[in-house]
Structure 1
Amino acid sequence: MNTKSTVSGILCLILFFITCGQVFALPDSSGRLTYEAPITTSNVSLSGVTASSSMYIRLEDYWNVNSLTLHLDYQATQLAAKEHSSVTLKMNGTGFYSFRPVVDKKQMNLTVPVPKELLVQGNNTLSINGYIVTDLPDGVCVPTEKRDSWLELYKTSYAEINYAKQAIGNSIHSFYQQFVGTDTLKGKMSALAVPNRSDSSELEAAVYALSGLAKGNRSEDATIPMLTLEDADLAERSQLVIVSLFKNLPDKWKTALGQPDVHDKALIRMVNAGSQSALIVTSDDPLMLKKAGRFVGNVSLVSQVDGPEKWIDQNTNVETPAINVSRDVTLTETGDKLTGMMHQEKSYFVSLPANRSIAESSKISLNFRYSDNLDFDRSLVTILINDTPIGSKKLTKELSNQDELTLTIPKNLGSTGSITVTAAFDLELKSAGCIELQDQMPWAYITKDSLLQLNTKDRTDMLFNSYPNPFLRDASFNQIAVLVPDKMDSYDYLTVGSLFHLLGKYAEANTGQVTFYKNQELPADSKMQHYNLISVGSFKDNPWLQKHNNKLFFQYSQDGERFVSNEKMSIEENYGKRIGTLQLMESPYNQGYGWLAVTGPSSKTSFLASNLLSSDSMKWKVYGDGVVTDVDGNTKAFRFKKEVQQEGSGLVEQITERGDVLAFIVALALTFILVVVSLIFLIRKYRKKAGEE
């Protein structure tokens, strides 16, 4: 073997691991792996004399963790009193390391091993508690809260996890765990595969399955690609989900399955072939294949299958439970305690469909109690929704054992989708500057009676600001028709995968309908009136797009080679050939229905545009109703439709969404009917007496 080429190959391999986001290291001699998990996605500021913040480090259930080491990048205020300031680290509530922050003008680095016995499978809570002192006025008193007391933890901080993987075994449940695991996704080791010339049923079943897999993906940037079974990249993936009619499966996977009878049933089976593990979803019946896709899209059901296979027939129930979008939400099941003086917070995440917003008459009722040694002239509680304060209340000694704050949530918050509710307590002490912090430590306790009465409504504006509206309704696919080229290439499949990865992540239910149409399969216009449309592909590859080119915000030239300038953007001829666009418009068939055009002069530029709607980390770049992106990563968003007022919900709709109002109206109606009936009987009674007389 050529020594020079061998060295070159090793260098290339090392370079590969360095450039892949610096996430993985090579396995050591014992076969163990190293994963670098970010601690926070943004800088964390600890402001004030006493401040704390919590972050989460997830350890996958299939990891056998050998060690976890924290690499913290921080900077402390230059005014900090070095011998009196300190920072304490806790893992899952147990302190394990304290240090005095180094005071310098530059970023400092700290490496700290975490005791293994403090770690648990799943989410681990890392708490950072700062006590930053900038002066000691009389040598014995603790200084009061000051703005020059701060410590900044940078987002470059990370946890280095050394672990070994458990064997996947022979279980669909364990396969699913590892398929959507953070290390698997970051390492680009998993993929969804379909036949090279997939028919509509295979594509439909594939996106149903992809939606469930995407919901298990906890990463904000890593995605699960949709590849064809002939794609060369597939050989590099160690874990596959294959969705295909049995006749279209490659011989390699048919052999692994044997000869199953799938003419009127669907089979979901885990198989191994060489270094690859695959979950194969197959049937001879297109309807059964789509039903099996919905089964994989139901995370709860997939997580319950301990065996290597699952058969789907006419009697198999695969649907998720109905989603109640207006409901009462309990903030805490057991109650939560906050301990410490000054500012203390507790946040609660409330899941909502991405296309729903808070409607009128939504309320929050916070029940709590607190210590009676506070300075009640300065202590209060504040409630925030998505970091926006909606109301406060002063704490009093008389109500310290049982207090309550009820607020109506403003309808002009502008929040869409899931929300974060924060209860912020300012627990001030009298003479706080001259006491030991450990003495008479103030506390507050949020009881399990705290409740969020949530009424929501659908967003109706056709803008990327409220995407995925209109393609989801009540957390389910909303009658989507996907118009694809007759001959799809690898970029077209990647585009479809990108779009439904994010849509699937938002879709909590698997009951919605997605239908794929190629140009020669398009139904009559009367049927298309009932669909929200997604068109994929270039002008030349998609005849349907050619027909509706004049309705695009960014239109093609007559030869379809490039985009032309419009009232919002001047486009140079060559530049118009290498950009991709996202355009959100009303359906050409029916008002109130949407049309998303994901298109570029080539399938590659279309895929470039679809990446903007593939993950939460990219979606923030998209707003308005027309977006342009190029190969250099430049993205521009525009608004073409005129601004209109959001339509308020009608009186009947408001009444039906308010259970208390509806009950009152029913009771009032029954009372009215009872009064009328009583009057009728009285009139008849006295008429009868009058007649007898």
Structure 2
Amino acid sequence: MLYGPNNIVLADNVAEHQSFSQNFNNSNSTISGRSVHYDVFFTKMNYWNIDQGQINFNFKISQLTDNDVSDLTLSINGVKFYSFRPDSTSDLQSKTIDIPTDLIQDSNHLQISGQIMNQVDDQTIIAETPANWLTVYQDSNINLNYSLTDAAEKINEFYAHFTGMDTVLNQKSAIQINPELTDPEIEANLYALTGLDRILSNKGKIPLISSNDTSIDNYNYQIIIAKQDHLPKRFKNIGANLDQDHAVIQTIIQQNIHYLIVTAKNQKQLIKASRFIANPELMNETQQAKKKISTNTQTFIATSQNKNIQNITQTETYLSGAGHHEATYSLSMPVNQNNANGSKIKLHTKYAKNIDFKNSLISVEIDDKKIGSHQLTAQKADDDTFEVKIPNGQSLSRNFNLKVTFDLVNKYSSLNSTPWAVIEPQSTISIKSEPMNNLLFDNYPSTFIKNKTFDNIALIRPKKINSFYLDTLASLFYGIGNYAEQNTGNITIYQKTPNKSQLANSSIIAFGTPNDNEFIKKANNDLYFKFDHNFQNIISNEKMSLETKYSQTIGTAQLLRSPYNQKRSLLILTAIHDSDVAMAANQISSQDSLAQIHGDAIVIDQNNHKQTYRFKKDTAADARLDLDLKLKRNHKLIVYILIFIFILISLIGSAIMILHKNGKLTLGRNSDER
């Protein structure tokens, strides 16, 4: 069983008929054992009217399966609705199954369970062997056909549709950008964008589209954030009567397009309103069409729970039948953190009393590495809570899998006895963490985040923002927004190079070509992939040879130590052409793409051929923090060394005193004195 994010695939999108598909998983999964269980979680948006739900189940079973007694049953949200026996074939089998629409809720749990029994010489084999297995193929999916309920002129309904996974993946959501916006107005748009991207996670990127773009009317849900004098003419009346201490957020529908207008007379109130947009709780709670934001309006996000302690599952995991059972949960490390010593897993379980306790146990694995086991007992069957320590020094990836395995052995050799076990939602993993401290893309965007928000980002932009640079900004802040948990940090946009004091106190991002961004031109000597003296080509270095024409078709993302502050980072996205800058930014725009990137430099060409390199020998972002972390990790070793040195000094001192007492040590006296 796999619990965690699944692959989402858009199937169809026309006005009368909508179809949405979600794959079971991102890869093929094999479940071993006589009793098999496979779980999938999927979501229905609350504005969908479901016409039909279907499961397309693609699978294989063991060639030794006894098809007369093997069976599979499907249930949704705890209600069983379909059972069948697999065909007698070793080929890939496909089954299309209708889901009763009345069972589909906003959040859904699909479970496939059953028994895979083997046979020898026409006899069913009760004993479990490695030949009991079911493989579920990754293209298995849940398909929902539905019609839409349009959003009313209410802020919360607009927000639900704008961030809905179907709207985003259908590219029907966008933030409209007036090319005449000032830098503070663009900052306001970026605050809103990162807050929206935070809740979308890996479901899709919200684009920034110029109001001059001919495709702008293709987007059914649009947000416009601008000072009142930069609003489109048809919306000029909104906010016309505002004073300097207020902003307004208002929904309006024109020509079947839903707009959310955010405006104020000054940049301070406009940014405050954009932080309101970046707060999902406030947006979901606002049920009116118009909301005024004053200087006293609280917009910060309520402190989130301690992510060092995570619930393994939100719902009860039920396992039924004798044999081997696996439940796998997808978990994540806190942003900007490494696993440290002392992490542990606390499991709350209960199980049947009709099992052979001497031979039944639970095992726990992290990323397929076993870290502990626990014997089941009759005394604790109704409430068995136990801890498994994660071994000191075991690294945890940004996203990792926790597998809990039950081996349930029947007390009686009978098919009529049905053992069961439950993993309860109180089960947790407690991660003792320490800060990540390296200037590599493995740690991006953590080097731009502090206290769960933007670490005073200085964004140095080209002279003019065209469609490629809007796409660059969307990619950049989609990537950062996925990890920034708060909406209180600062982003400051500059067209010209800031002064040294501003640079020293900022984490810097610069994007563009050397011909439209003076900062990048001046930083050329600091780049790993440098431009030639005419800034017409990117030149070869010790890592990569570059042919002249080819170098004009690549984009680069380079993560450097800031020359203005050794404890801060500098990210430069650059190329000869602006389109290739956007291509480079797209490489660091999502959790999936970042998981594939290592090192501190990325090169991507127009054929989507990507290469990554590491140039830094010393990757520590903060040398003092690096020393502190090393001392912390090795504090026991340091204590042992100090004790050893103390004992050694004591032994040497004792030896000197004994020799002196026995007159065998002259301590510098000459023979005459003796």
Which structure 1 residue ranges, 5 or more long, are not aligned? 1-19, 656-693
* Contact persistence 1:481–1:514 (CA under 8 A): yes
> Kindly tell me: are residues 213 and 328 of structure 1, through their superposed partners in 2, closer, same or farther at Cα, counting changes over 3 Å?
closer
Measured in 2, the distance between the counterparts of 1:652 and 1:73 equals 50
3-state SS in 2 of match to 1:545: helix
3-state SS in 2 of match to 1:210: helix
Give the match for residue 674 of structure 1.
none
> Kindly tell me: are residues 129 and 402 of structure 1, through their superposed partners in 2, closer, same or farther at Cα, counting changes over 3 Å?
closer
Measured in 1, the distance between the counterparts of 2:559 and 2:629 equals 30
Measured in 2, the distance between the counterparts of 1:453 and 1:653 equals 23
Pairing 1:145–2:133 present? no
Structure 1 vs Structure 2 CA RMSD: 2.8
Pairing 1:213–2:190 present? no
> Kindly tell me: are residues 387 and 483 of structure 1, through their superposed partners in 2, closer, same or farther at Cα, counting changes over 3 Å?
farther
| Mean Cα deviation higher: 170-179 or 75-84 | 75-84
- CA drift at 1:502: 2.0
Measured in 1, the distance between the counterparts of 2:534 and 2:498 equals 27
| Mean Cα deviation higher: 601-610 or 359-368 | 359-368
Measured in 1, the distance between the counterparts of 2:369 and 2:490 equals 36
Measured in 2, the distance between the counterparts of 1:387 and 1:288 equals 51
Q: Which one-letter code corresponds to 1:425 in the other structure?
A: F
Q: Which one-letter code corresponds to 1:313 in the other structure?
A: S
3-state SS in 1 of match to 2:557: strand
Measured in 1, the distance between the counterparts of 2:20 and 2:629 equals 55
How many pairs align? 623
Measured in 2, the distance between the counterparts of 1:462 and 1:652 equals 17
3-state SS in 1 of match to 2:482: helix
- CA drift at 1:405: 2.4
Q: Which of 218, 236, 244 in structure 2 is aligned with 1:263?
A: 244
Measured in 2, the distance between the counterparts of 1:81 and 1:581 equals 57
Give the match for residue 502 of structure 1.
479
Measured in 2, the distance between the counterparts of 1:78 and 1:138 equals 14
| Mean Cα deviation higher: 104-113 or 604-613 | 104-113
- CA drift at 1:333: 7.6
Give the match for residue 618 of structure 1.
593
> Kindly tell me: are residues 104 and 328 of structure 1, through their superposed partners in 2, closer, same or farther at Cα, counting changes over 3 Å?
closer
- CA drift at 1:388: 4.1
* Contact persistence 2:36–2:134 (CA under 8 A): no
Measured in 1, the distance between the counterparts of 2:271 and 2:239 equals 22
Q: Which one-letter code corresponds to 1:546 in the other structure?
A: K
TM-score, length-scaled by structure 1: 0.84
Which structure 2 residue ranges, 5 or more long, are not aligned? 1-7, 634-674
- CA drift at 1:594: 0.9
3-state SS in 2 of match to 1:581: strand
Measured in 1, the distance between the counterparts of 2:369 and 2:451 equals 25
CA deviation vs aligned residue, 1:176-199 (integer Å, no higher than 9, x gap): 111111211121111112221332
Pairing 1:288–2:269 present? yes
| Mean Cα deviation higher: 280-289 or 636-645 | 636-645
Pairing 1:235–2:239 present? no
Q: Which of 112, 122, 125 in structure 2 is aligned with 1:128?
A: 112
| Mean Cα deviation higher: 78-87 or 498-507 | 78-87
3-state SS in 1 of match to 2:470: helix
Give the match for residue 479 of structure 1.
456
> Kindly tell me: are residues 152 and 334 of structure 1, through their superposed partners in 2, closer, same or farther at Cα, counting changes over 3 Å?
closer
CA deviation vs aligned residue, 1:216-275 (integer Å, no higher than 9, x gap): 325x352111122222221211111111111111212325x3734153311111111212
Give the match for residue 244 of structure 1.
226
3-state SS in 2 of match to 1:216: helix
* Mapping for residues 166-185 of structure 1, pairs under 5 Å: 166-185=149-168
Q: Which one-letter code corresponds to 2:587 in the other structure?
A: L
Measured in 2, the distance between the counterparts of 1:533 and 1:192 equals 24
3-state SS in 2 of match to 1:425: strand
Pairing 1:222–2:204 present? yes
| Mean Cα deviation higher: 61-70 or 341-350 | 341-350
Q: Which one-letter code corresponds to 1:107 in the other structure?
A: L
Give the match for residue 525 of structure 2.
550
Measured in 1, the distance between the counterparts of 2:444 and 2:260 equals 31
Measured in 2, the distance between the counterparts of 1:375 and 1:649 equals 52
Give the match for residue 82 of structure 2.
97
Pairing 1:603–2:588 present? no
Give the match for residue 24 of structure 1.
12
CA deviation vs aligned residue, 1:544-602 (integer Å, no higher than 9, x gap): 00101111111112222221111111111111001111111111211121111111111
* Contact persistence 2:440–2:619 (CA under 8 A): no
Measured in 2, the distance between the counterparts of 1:332 and 1:154 equals 23
3-state SS in 1 of match to 2:296: coil
> Kindly tell me: are residues 583 and 92 of structure 1, through their superposed partners in 2, closer, same or farther at Cα, counting changes over 3 Å?
same
> Kindly tell me: are residues 328 and 131 of structure 1, through their superposed partners in 2, closer, same or farther at Cα, counting changes over 3 Å?
closer
Give the match for residue 42 of structure 1.
27
> Kindly tell me: are residues 422 and 309 of structure 1, through their superposed partners in 2, closer, same or farther at Cα, counting changes over 3 Å?
farther
CA deviation vs aligned residue, 1:279-335 (integer Å, no higher than 9, x gap): 111112101111111111111111110011211111000011235657555556886
3-state SS in 2 of match to 1:70: strand
Q: Which of 426, 441, 446 in structure 1 is aligned with 2:418?
A: 441
> Kindly tell me: are residues 25 and 313 of structure 1, through their superposed partners in 2, closer, same or farther at Cα, counting changes over 3 Å?
closer
Measured in 1, the distance between the counterparts of 2:425 and 2:611 equals 46
> Kindly tell me: are residues 309 and 598 of structure 1, through their superposed partners in 2, closer, same or farther at Cα, counting changes over 3 Å?
same
- CA drift at 1:651: 8.5
Give the match for residue 561 of structure 1.
536
Q: Which of 166, 173, 179 in structure 2 is aligned with 1:190?
A: 173
- CA drift at 1:132: 2.2
Q: Which one-letter code corresponds to 2:215 in the other structure?
A: D
> Kindly tell me: are residues 604 and 632 of structure 1, through their superposed partners in 2, closer, same or farther at Cα, counting changes over 3 Å?
same
- CA drift at 1:449: 5.9
3-state SS in 2 of match to 1:230: coil
* Contact persistence 1:325–1:353 (CA under 8 A): no
- CA drift at 1:484: 0.6
> Kindly tell me: are residues 259 and 566 of structure 1, through their superposed partners in 2, closer, same or farther at Cα, counting changes over 3 Å?
same
Measured in 1, the distance between the counterparts of 2:305 and 2:144 equals 39
Measured in 1, the distance between the counterparts of 2:264 and 2:631 equals 43
Q: Which one-letter code corresponds to 2:273 in the other structure?
A: A
- CA drift at 1:336: 5.4
Pairing 1:356–2:344 present? no
Q: Which one-letter code corresponds to 1:135 in the other structure?
A: Q
> Kindly tell me: are residues 630 and 167 of structure 1, through their superposed partners in 2, closer, same or farther at Cα, counting changes over 3 Å?
same
3-state SS in 1 of match to 2:407: strand
Q: Which of 201, 210, 222 in structure 1 is aligned with 2:184?
A: 201
Give the match for residue 73 of structure 1.
58
> Kindly tell me: are residues 645 and 344 of structure 1, through their superposed partners in 2, closer, same or farther at Cα, counting changes over 3 Å?
farther
* Contact persistence 2:194–2:478 (CA under 8 A): yes
- CA drift at 1:529: 0.9
Give the match for residue 668 of structure 1.
none
- CA drift at 1:75: 2.7
> Kindly tell me: are residues 643 and 544 of structure 1, through their superposed partners in 2, closer, same or farther at Cα, counting changes over 3 Å?
closer
Give the match for residue 527 of structure 1.
502
3-state SS in 1 of match to 2:204: coil
| Mean Cα deviation higher: 260-269 or 570-579 | 260-269
TM-score, length-scaled by structure 2: 0.86
Measured in 2, the distance between the counterparts of 1:154 and 1:75 equals 8
Give the match for residue 457 of structure 1.
434
> Kindly tell me: are residues 414 and 466 of structure 1, through their superposed partners in 2, closer, same or farther at Cα, counting changes over 3 Å?
farther
* Contact persistence 2:455–2:489 (CA under 8 A): yes
Measured in 2, the distance between the counterparts of 1:136 and 1:93 equals 35
* Contact persistence 1:359–1:455 (CA under 8 A): yes
> Kindly tell me: are residues 312 and 349 of structure 1, through their superposed partners in 2, closer, same or farther at Cα, counting changes over 3 Å?
farther
Q: Which one-letter code corresponds to 1:435 in the other structure?
A: S
> Kindly tell me: are residues 168 and 258 of structure 1, through their superposed partners in 2, closer, same or farther at Cα, counting changes over 3 Å?
same
Measured in 2, the distance between the counterparts of 1:446 and 1:203 equals 48
CA deviation vs aligned residue, 1:159-189 (integer Å, no higher than 9, x gap): 2212111120011111111111121112111
Pairing 1:159–2:134 present? no
Give the match for residue 412 of structure 1.
393
* Contact persistence 2:165–2:203 (CA under 8 A): no
